[in-house]
Structure 1
Amino acid sequence: MMFGLSGTHALGRSGTESSDYREPESSPNPRKCWAAAPLNYPNKESSRFLLTARRLCTEGAAEPPSTNQCIQDGNPPLTHVTLVWQQGVREDWLRFGKPVAERILDRRTRIESYAPGQVFALVRWASNDYGTVRSTLDIVRAVASGEAFTTVPQVNPGGEILLSIRGWPKVRQTFELIDAIEQAGHDPCEVAPDHWRHMHNRLAVGMLPRCYAKSRHLAWLLRRKLQS
C-alpha cells in the first residue's frame, strides 16, 4: 500500500476498524475522512491529569501559526495540530478526530484545527538507521480561551491530556482498545473523557482497562446534556 501526499485520503491510518496494527512503515490501512458532525463537549467536572463543518484550504507553504495567532484564531479560538508525513522516517496522523478546518502547507505537512471541547487522538512515530526512536499516542481535548492546558508536541497552544502512551507495544494495545469501542458502535470522539483517563491509568500500571459499556456511554451523554 503506497501512502499519498500529506492531506490526502491515503495519508495515514486514522479511523480504521482493523486491529492488525503493525509499525507505521508497513501498515496497509488508509486514513478515514470524517463528515461534518456536532462538536463534542468537555467533562467540566474532571480536570485532573492522572495518568462541524470541515473547510479545506490549500494555501501556499508557510510557517505554522504562532501561539498568539492560535489563541486569537477562530471564533471560538481553535487548537491547531501540525502533522508531518515522511514515510519511514517521520509519520504523524490522527487515530480519530473531526477537525473543523484543515490547511495543507506542503507535500509533507498539514495543520488540522479543532474547536474547544473536541477530542482527538494524535499518533507520532519516527525512526532512524537503528530502528524506531519515537512511538506515542496522545488523546487530547481542545480547550477554550482562558482554560488551563498542558503543552503537547505539535499541538498549539496545547490541550487537556486525557491519555498519553509511549512505546509501540502499548500504542498498539491502545489501538485495539479503540477498535473495540468502535466495534461496539461508539464514536471515539464522543466517548466519556473519564474513560480515557481510566484507560491511561490502567495501562500505566500494566492492567487491562474496563470495557466501555453502553450504560456508561448513555450516562455520559445524559450528563453532557445536563451540563450544556
Structure 2
Amino acid sequence: MTGLAAASTRAARALHTPPDNLTQVELVWIEKQIEHWVRFGRERREQILDRRRRILFFPPGSVLALVRWAANEHGTVVSRIDILRTVERDAPCQTIPTVTPGAEVLLHVDGWPKVERVLHLIDAIEARGIDPIEVSPDHWRHVHNRMAVGETPRAYGLRQHRAFLMRREIGA
C-alpha cells in the first residue's frame, strides 16, 4: 500500500469513528444541488474537510435540528428536517444519513411545505426567548406526531417550558 493510500484509509476510518464518544454530523454544501445544515444545536467542535464539507461533533444528550435538501435538473428531490438527540456510545439509536453512529429521532418531516412549517415553529420558539435545544423532547415528538396525521401542533410556551425545566431539575 502506498503512503497516499494508507493515509486515505486512515482518514476514511477516522471519519467513521467519532472521537471521545461524540456523534458526528457531516454537512455538505454544494449550492443549489446538496445543502445540509444544522438549524440549531451546540457542537463541541468542528472539522473542515474541504470548502464544501465539514463535520460537527456533538456530545451525548445534545439536541440538534438537521436540515437536508437536494435537487437535480428537474427540481427538489429531497427536503427533510430531523430533530435529533445524540446518544452515548453503544446505546440503541436510529441510523440517519450523515450522522455517525446515529441518534434518537425526536422529529422527522419530509417535503418542503412541512419542513418550512417546522422551521416556522422553531422561529416562534426562539421569538419567545427559548433556546430550541432546551425544548422538551416530548414537544418535538408531539410536533412529529401531529404533522404525521395532518394536524396542527400545539405551540410551545413559557409555561410548558418552565414545567419541563422543573421536571428535569428534580430528575423525573
Q: Same fold (TM over 0.5)?
A: yes
Per the alignment, residue 226 of structure 1 pairs with 170
Between the aligned partners of 1:138 and 1:84, the Cα distance in structure 2 is: 16
Matches within 5 A, 1:1-228: 62-63=11-12, 65-67=14-16, 69-70=17-18, 73-74=19-20, 77-227=21-171
Unmatched tracts of structure 2, length 5 or more: 1-10
**Displacement of 1:216:** 1.1
Between the aligned partners of 1:147 and 1:206, the Cα distance in structure 2 is: 32
Please state which structure has a larger fraction of its residues in helix. 2
Between the aligned partners of 2:57 and 2:90, the Cα distance in structure 1 is: 18
Count of residue correspondences: 162
**Displacement of 1:65:** 3.3
Between the aligned partners of 2:160 and 2:14, the Cα distance in structure 1 is: 38
- Is the Cα contact below 8 Å between 1:139 and 1:162 reproduced in 2? yes
Unmatched tracts of structure 1, length 5 or more: 1-61
AA aligned opposite 2:141: R
Between the aligned partners of 1:215 and 1:181, the Cα distance in structure 2 is: 12
Q: Which has the larger radius of gyration?
A: 2
Between the aligned partners of 1:208 and 1:201, the Cα distance in structure 2 is: 10
Greater than 6 Å deviation, 4+ residue runs: none
**Displacement of 1:88:** 0.5
Between the two structures, name the one with larger relative contact order (CA 8 Å, sep ≥ 6).
1
**Displacement of 1:64:** 7.2
Between the aligned partners of 1:112 and 1:227, the Cα distance in structure 2 is: 29
Between the aligned partners of 1:202 and 1:182, the Cα distance in structure 2 is: 21
SS of alignment partner, residue 14 of structure 2? coil
Identify if the C-alpha distance between structure 1 residues 202 and 86 changes in structure 2 by more than 3 Å, giving closer, same or farther: same
TM-score scaled by structure 2?
Answer: 0.90
SS of alignment partner, residue 65 of structure 1? helix
